[in-house]
Amino acid sequence: MIDFKEILVPADGSDNGLRALHHAVELAKLSGGTILICHVANIVSVISGFDQIPSGAGYVTEQMATDMEDKGKEILESMVKSIPPEVPVKTIFEVGSPGPTLAMVAEKNNADLIVMGSRGLGPIKGIFMGSVSSYIVSHATCPVLIVK
């Protein structure tokens, strides 16, 4: 069997992401690996919706950043609680564009595998992967397992 020593699991709070975590945990148990759970706060997408906020409104953007960090850490903590104590786990919080940031995190941490959820869409749109999972499949330097 191929040993997966470092298994990266992106954490977005979705049901598919949680299913991906369960698969990653089973693989980690079999290979004695560590789960790396990474949440990427995409502040650019949030701020882009506020193009009418005056530049002097730094407080608003600072508060949004704080809220995003709190939410990200809440997602990470929730996922860690569902991992059995015998499986080593590390959490990573990053800010950036999810696809490129996750690819960078995987490379930086020498991930042997990325296990991630596909986007939860309706039956017709569900044929296609989400933009982040599609990006990772195309750009990751290690194998990728997409979980629906």
Residue 59 confidence (pLDDT): 55
- Could you tell me the pTM of the whole model? 0.85
The two structure tokens encoding residue 118? 């596909």
Burial (0-12, 13-18, 19+ Cβ within 10 Å), 99 = buried
What is the model's pLDDT at position 67?
Answer: 85
pLDDT value at residue 47: 56
Which pLDDT belongs to residue 124?
A: 45
Q: State how far the Cα of 91 lies from the Cα of 74, in Å rounded to an integer.
A: 11
**Domains present along the chain, CATH in parentheses:** 6-147 (3.40.50.620)
pLDDT at 65: 76
* Residue numbers in the chain where pLDDT is lower than 50: 120-127
The whole-number pLDDT of residue 48 equals 55
Query: What pLDDT does 63 receive?
Result: 75
Torsions phi, psi of 109, nearest 5? -100, 10
**pLDDT for the residue numbered 6:** 98
pLDDT of residue 129: 54
